[in-house]
Amino acid sequence: MKIHNAGPSIPMPAPSTESAGKTAQSSLTQPQTPVSPSETSDGRPSSVRTNYPYSSVKTRLPPVASARQPLSGMPSSLPGYLLLRRLDRRPLDQDGIKGLIPADEAVGEARRALPFGRGNIDVDAQRSNLESGARTVAARRLRKDAEAAGHEPMPANEDMNWHVLVAMSGQVFGAGNCGEHARIASFAYGALAQEKGRNADEYIHLAAQSGEDHVWAETDNSSAGSSPIVMDPWSNGPAIFAEDSRFAKDRSTVERTDSFTLATAAEAGKITRETAENALIQATSRLQKRLADQKSQVSPVAGGRYRQENSVLDDAFARRVSDTLNNGDPRRALQVEIEAAGVAMSLGAQGVKAVAEQARTVVEQARKVASRKGTPQRDT
């Protein structure tokens, strides 16, 4: 397992406009070949601020003239997950909820940073008119060109350079597969968790399951219980505990491939934004042209090269709670309503009317989270 630590005494030089421009320009020279989006794997810099707000600057490449607009996102379904835990007789205390909140915010940040969706998921390809796949392939080629050009956005921490280039390329084109989603989420969590009082020296990890071509982010939050917190923005659903996760539940099959401190992750997120914006400032027209050329090279949805979306939840857990949620017994329905009201109050709802209204929303969210494919990421 690689451990990445920025080191408290080493400043992180910001990437130069010149180097970012060269990186973007070099991406235009690579030959075009038919591809499918399969998975194989702001402003001028200010002084370093570890917990710099992650969404303060947007670095998304505008769509080409013939493209559709970005896919609209959905609100967090974390309240629905909290209800499912209650119905499974494993309610979370306030420490557990507090641990999940910044992780869930990081999941949302990753999805907002990649508004054209997942490049290898069929529904995103359909909804975006293949824009998701074209942008993902373009992002990966930009990353490879940046590597070939020797671009080092974090020269003081060499091991982090590849992770930053993956996240930066995804942000430039606004789409990605699980790798782009996981890295952006991990960087966002580095800032958000510190803003919630977590120690800068705590770790965030990238993890994968043996035999699965998938990566996610996770963290050990001792105040939230013994199970790691999983951030998997590529899958449908909120941040959850590993014991409820489709991919992370069986810990004997999980490998943490990379680890870095929250301080390092937050700094990487800041540099990712700066590098992406510099690339856009220097080479937007070239990147737009490359994206337009790329779209004709992307596999059609009917070609069978895309994957179906899936829920972040473990199937067995989802089935158990679905039985309770959808039971026609009035006593069970009352139990669900009472537990949903408890979730609403635990998240700050006050007053009978507000609690009742939010409880209804929580129940609907829970049904979606527990469904076979989970809560859709994008508004249909």
pLDDT digits (tens, 9 = 90+) for 283-300: 888 888 888 888 888 888
Residue 191, pLDDT > 50, answer yes
Q: Please tell me the pTM assigned to this model.
A: 0.83
Partner residues linked to 121 by β-bridges: 307
Query: Would you state the pLDDT for residue 30?
Result: 36
Query: Would you state the pLDDT for residue 218?
Result: 98
Band of the pLDDT at 248, cuts 50, 70, 90? very high
Query: Would you state the pLDDT for residue 222?
Result: 62
Return mean pLDDT, the chain. Answer: 82
Query: How many Cα atoms occupy the beta-carbon half-sphere of 73 within 13 Å?
Result: 19
Q: Which two tokens stand for residue 350?
A: 């006050």
Query: Would you state the pLDDT for residue 225?
Result: 64
The answer to whether 56 touches 357, Cβ cutoff 8 Å, is no
Question: What are the distances in angstroms from CA 248 to CA 124, 206, 265, 331?
Answer: 24, 11, 21, 34
Least confidently predicted of 164-178, 207-221, 365-379: 365-379
Buried b / exposed e over 163-174, threshold 16 CB at 10 Å, is: bbbbbbbbbbbb
Residue 231, pLDDT > 50, answer yes
Residue 279, pLDDT > 50, answer yes
Task: Using DSSP, state whether 343 is helix, strand or coil.
Answer: helix
Query: Would you state the pLDDT for residue 11?
Result: 25
Query: Would you state the pLDDT for residue 280?
Result: 84
The answer to whether 212 touches 285, Cβ cutoff 8 Å, is no
Distance, first Cα to last Cα, the chain = 40
Q: Which of 265, 63, 29 is nearest to 142 (CA)?
A: 29
pLDDT above 90: percentage of residues in the chain: 65
Least confidently predicted of 22-26, 164-168, 341-345: 22-26
Query: Would you state the pLDDT for residue 301?
Result: 85
Of residues 190 and 288, the one with the higher pLDDT is: 190
Residue 38, pLDDT > 50, answer no
Question: What are the distances in angstroms from CA 182 to CA 73, 221, 234?
Answer: 17, 18, 8
Of residues 271 and 327, the one with the higher pLDDT is: 271
Residue 64, pLDDT > 70, answer no
CB atoms within 10 A of CB 322: 18
Query: Would you state the pLDDT for residue 295?
Result: 83
pLDDT above 70: percentage of residues in the chain: 79
Strand 215-219 and strand 240-241: the pairing is: unpaired
Query: What number is the average pLDDT over the span 110-138?
Result: 93
Query: What number is the average pLDDT over the span 209-225?
Result: 86
Query: Would you state the pLDDT for residue 56?
Result: 38
Residue 227, pLDDT > 70, answer yes
Query: What number is the average pLDDT over the span 173-198?
Result: 96
Strand 2-4 and strand 254-261: the pairing is: parallel
